[in-house]
Structure formats: C-alpha cells, structure tokens
C-alpha cells in the first residue's frame, strides 16, 4: 500500500523582516565559509615554497576540499530535509572552524590535506539546508532572489579572503616570530592566516543557537511532527520527469564554474608571475575589486531574471544566468593580454560576469522542486558544481605544469580553459531554456492542485 503523503501546509510565511534577518545570518555564514576555503589561494605562494609543492599539488588542496564538500552534501541534504536544520548548520560551523585551525597549526602536507577534507564536510551542510529553509521563509516567487542574495555571501567571502587574507599575510611576513599557546613552535605567516580566518565561525555558531527552526511547508499542519525523509524513489521520479532540464542545467553551470573557480584561484599567481607583484599587494587590490563587483554580479543577475519573469518569460532564471556566463568569456580572456593597470581595471567587469550565474543556478531549482526534497536536489547540484571547484584549479594547474610551463603560462592556461568551458556552458543553457519553462509550468500546476 502506498503511504499517504501529508498535504502542504498553508500557514502564513514569517514576516519579511524576520525572514530576511535569518537570511542575513545565513549570508554571513556563507561569507565565513568561503573565507575559510578560499584563503589557500592567498597563501599559495609561501605555502607552496614551505611544503615544496608543484602547481598541481597545491591546487589539489582546493580540489580535495571540493570533493569532500560534494560527497558530504548529498547525505547532509537528505538529513536537512528531515531534521532540524538550525542545529545542522550550527554544528557545521563549529566543524569547519576547527578544521581551519588544524590547517594552521601543522606543517605536514598530509595533515593539511586531511583538514581540508574535514573543512569540506563541515561547510557542505550550509547550502542544502539554506535551500530548504528559504522555501519555508519565502513564497516561491521570492525564493530565487533570496538564494541569489545568499550567494552574495559566497562572493563576499571570496573577496574578503583576498582583502583580509592578503593584509594578514603581509603583516605576518613583516613579523619575525609567531607562537601560539599549546603549539610550542613558531608559526609561518601562512599558518597564522588560516587560524585568524577560523575565528568568526565560532562566533556565528553561537548566534545560530538563537535562530528559530522555520515551519516546514510540506507538513499537514503546524503541529505535525516532521516526516523523516522522502523515499528515494520519489526523488528519482522527480529527476526522471525533469531529466532534460536538470541535465542541461547541471552541465551548463558546471562548465561556467570550472572556468570561474580556475580564474579566481589563479588570479593572484597571475599577478605575481606575469606582472611581478608581491602576493599581499595583489590580493588586497584584487580583493577590493571583488568586494564591490562580485556581489553586484550575483544580485544583478537576480534582478535581471526578475525583470524577464515579469515580462512573462518562463525561462527567466536560465536566460539571465546564460547571459552572465557568456559575457565571462571575453571578460576573462582580455585580462590575460593587457598591462597590469588594465588587468586590474578589467577585473571589475570580469568578476561581475564570472559570479553572475551562480545565485540563479541555485535559485532556479527550488521553484521547480517539491518542498520536501529541496535540500536533497540542492545537494545533488552541489555535488555537480563542486566538480568545478575541484577540477577547475587543478586542470589549470596541470596546464601550467605541462601544457604552458613557465611564469607566462598561467595566462594561456586561463584563456584556453575559459574558452572551452564557455562554449560548453552556453550550449547547454541554450538547450535548457525550453525544458526549464516546462518544468516550471508543471511545478505551478502541482502547487495549485496540492493547496486548495
């Protein structure tokens, strides 16, 4: 006998002020998580020299994080669709902060490697849990904007990593001795940088304790106990019904993420190798550009999608992401060919376009997904997207080592990878548009029939 599913709850949504306050806390969490994961790109030079690593090996640290992040996301997404999301996020914050501390107190590559694995597992809970929470805080038509705003945290975290990480690295390099209690040995500047960026996570975890768990909208009534997980066959059926939408969506945004993560990861080595700048100075200049133009790209794409939607375009979320991804290709390539002043100036539009698709990539999914499986669908997309995080920097590093060796090679690696991935991304999202519109129509019809 088929188990009866509870009807969606029709309780009022929280007040907009409270909903956006919770989202603001989650945005700060996203900022802190990206600060912890991206700092390895700032300390890449001194860390590589201290541990005697190649470009491929040092970029593997980022790839290792991404793989563990992706693999942990799927089971954590399933848990987030069934259990208290507030506590899951709180525990995740504590875990990733501890792992960042461990990265800073060791000088063994193996231990740093394992700490990056733990960092990925701790951070993996935040996006799927946030996708689930957003669906319970906001009406469906506002979810893409809310998740685009959430993605500004990813951009701000990356930008702040460059600004604060570069500043901390510069300060530490000017000091001669750094000891910490219980460690018992002098720390390198790159090690202390890892420790400094871990501290905000502990503070935010304490704040999360006071956030209320939102009412789940897939429950029959406000007082109903939570349903412990949607059967996997239902999730499989959803993917089967929407396979063309999801395949083209996932591959298209994966291609853009491969190019985007590679570009951001190798930007500071580009300035140090090609233009002979010191890493601390390059990080701070690039970071301040990132602070203003990275988040603007995410929000701008969300606003553009909203305008398309108001004009009746059912493919609005995909079309707006496609436009930003397409403009990324010339924006990144031209930076590799101009003098240093122009390279910094043109980083502004490049960072705007590079970051513009990714809020919509997440935001496009909850509006076509049944509420009870939103976190799990988001987790599957995280698994796919993390391929860009894992392999974008590594592929570029392999290009640097084997295809374009020497200090100038990093620019040719970026041009080649951006062009290839850009063409794939554009093609897939063009094909996705009509299928996404159909999936959105079906989701609207399902919601209309389920809620009287």
Task: Write the DSSP assignment of 393-405 as a string of letters.
Answer: HHHHHHIIIIIS-
Tell me which residue range forms the domain holding 251: 16-217+229-450
Give the pLDDT of residue 412: 93
- Tally of CA atoms within 13 A in the half-sphere of 212 that contains its CB: 9
**pLDDT band per the 50, 70, 90 thresholds, residue 208:** very high
Lowest mean pLDDT among 201-210, 217-226, 343-352, 357-366: 217-226
401, with CB counted inside 10 A (0-12, 13-18, 19+), is middle
Q: What whole-number distance in Å separates Cα of residue 257 and Cα of residue 293?
A: 17
Q: Which residues contact 276 (CB under 8 A, 6 or more apart)?
A: none
pLDDT over 90 for what percent of the chain? 27
Q: Mean of the per-residue pLDDT values for the chain?
A: 82
222 located within any domain:
no
Q: What whole-number distance in Å separates Cα of residue 115 and Cα of residue 35?
A: 15
Give the pLDDT of residue 29: 92
Task: Please write the tens of the pLDDT for every residue from 49-100.
Answer: 787 777 777 777 777 887 888 788 778 877 887 788 899 999 999 999 999 8
Of 426, 319, 423, residue with least CA distance to 364: 319
Q: What whole-number distance in Å separates Cα of residue 144 and Cα of residue 403?
A: 40
Which residue reads 């090609």 in tokens? Answer: 274
Task: Please write the tens of the pLDDT for every residue from 238-293.
Answer: 889 999 999 999 999 999 999 998 998 889 889 989 999 887 788 888 888 988 89
224 located within any domain:
no
Q: What whole-number distance in Å separates Cα of residue 262 and Cα of residue 63?
A: 11
7 located within any domain:
no
**Residue 21 pLDDT exceeds 50:** yes
288 with 163: CB under 8 angstroms?
A: yes
Number of CB atoms found within 10 A of residue 220's CB: 14
Q: Which residues contact 384 (CB under 8 A, 6 or more apart)?
A: 70, 250, 251, 253, 254
Mean pLDDT value across residues 305-332: 91
207 with 25: CB under 8 angstroms?
A: yes
**Residue 435 pLDDT exceeds 80:** yes
* 404 alpha-carbon distance from chain centroid: 29
3 located within any domain:
no
Give the pLDDT of residue 5: 45
Q: What whole-number distance in Å separates Cα of residue 316 and Cα of residue 25?
A: 28
26 located within any domain:
yes
**For the packed helices 44-51 and 279-310, what is the interaxial angle rounded to 10 degrees?**
130
Q: What whole-number distance in Å separates Cα of residue 388 and Cα of residue 38?
A: 14
pTM summary value: 0.71
List the CATH number of the domain containing 59: 1.20.1250.20
Number of CB atoms found within 10 A of residue 94's CB: 16
138 located within any domain:
yes
5 located within any domain:
no
**Residue 221 pLDDT exceeds 50:** no
Mean pLDDT value across residues 181-192: 67
Instruction: Compute φ and ψ for 179, nearest 5 degrees.
Output: -115, 150
1 located within any domain:
no
How many domains is the chain partitioned into structurally? 1
């Amino acid at each position: 006998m088929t188990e009866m599913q509870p009807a969606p709850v029709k309780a009022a949504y929280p007040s907009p002020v409270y909903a956006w306050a919770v989202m603001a806390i989650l945005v700060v969490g996203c900022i802190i998580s990206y600060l912890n994961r991206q700092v390895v790109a700032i300390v890449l030079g001194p860390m590589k020299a201290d541990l005697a690593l190649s470009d491929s090996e040092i970029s593997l640290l980022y790839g290792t994080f991404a793989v563990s992040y992706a693999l942990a996301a799927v089971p954590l997404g399933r848990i987030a669709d069934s259990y208290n999301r507030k506590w899951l996020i709180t525990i995740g914050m504590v875990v990733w902060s501890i792992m960042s501390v461990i990265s800073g107190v060791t000088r063994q590559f193996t231990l740093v490697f394992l700490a990056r694995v733990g960092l990925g597992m701790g951070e993996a809970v935040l996006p799927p849990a946030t996708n689930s929470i957003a669906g319970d805080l906001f009406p469906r038509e506002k979810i893409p904007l809310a998740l685009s705003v959430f993605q500004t945290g990813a951009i701000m975290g990356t930008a702040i990593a460059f600004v604060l990480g570069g500043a901390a690295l510069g300060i530490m390099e000017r000091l001669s001795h750094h000891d910490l209690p219980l460690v018992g040995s002098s720390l390198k500047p790159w090690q202390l940088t890892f420790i400094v960026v871990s501290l905000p996570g502990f503070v935010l975890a304490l704040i999360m304790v006071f956030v209320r768990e939102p009412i789940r909208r897939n429950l029959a009534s406000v007082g109903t106990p939570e349903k412990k997980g949607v059967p996997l066959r239902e999730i499989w059926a959803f993917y089967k019904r929407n396979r063309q939408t999801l395949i083209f969506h996932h591959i298209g945004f994966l291609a853009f993420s491969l190019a985007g993560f590679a570009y951001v990861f190798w930007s500071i080595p580009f300035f140090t190798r090609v233009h002979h700048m010191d890493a601390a100075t390059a990080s701070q200049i690039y970071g301040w550009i990132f602070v203003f133009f990275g988040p603007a790209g995410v929000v701008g794409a969300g606003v553009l999608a909203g305008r398309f939607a108001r004009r009746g375009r059912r493919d609005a979320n995909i079309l707006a992401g496609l436009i930003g991804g397409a403009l990324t290709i010339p924006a990144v390539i031209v930076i590799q060919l101009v003098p240093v002043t122009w390279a910094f100036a043109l980083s502004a539009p490049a960072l705007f376009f590079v970051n513009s698709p990714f809020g919509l990539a997440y935001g496009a999914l909850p509006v076509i997904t049944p509420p009870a499986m939103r976190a799990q669908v988001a987790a599957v997309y995280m698994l796919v997207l993390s391929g860009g995080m894992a392999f974008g920097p590594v592929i570029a590093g392999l290009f640097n080592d084997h295809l374009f060796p020497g200090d100038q090679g990093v620019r040719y690696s970026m041009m080649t990878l951006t062009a290839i991935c850009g063409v794939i991304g554009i093609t897939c999202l063009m094909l996705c548009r009509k299928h996404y519109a159909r999936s959105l129509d079906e989701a609207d019809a399902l919601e209309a029939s389920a809620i009287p």
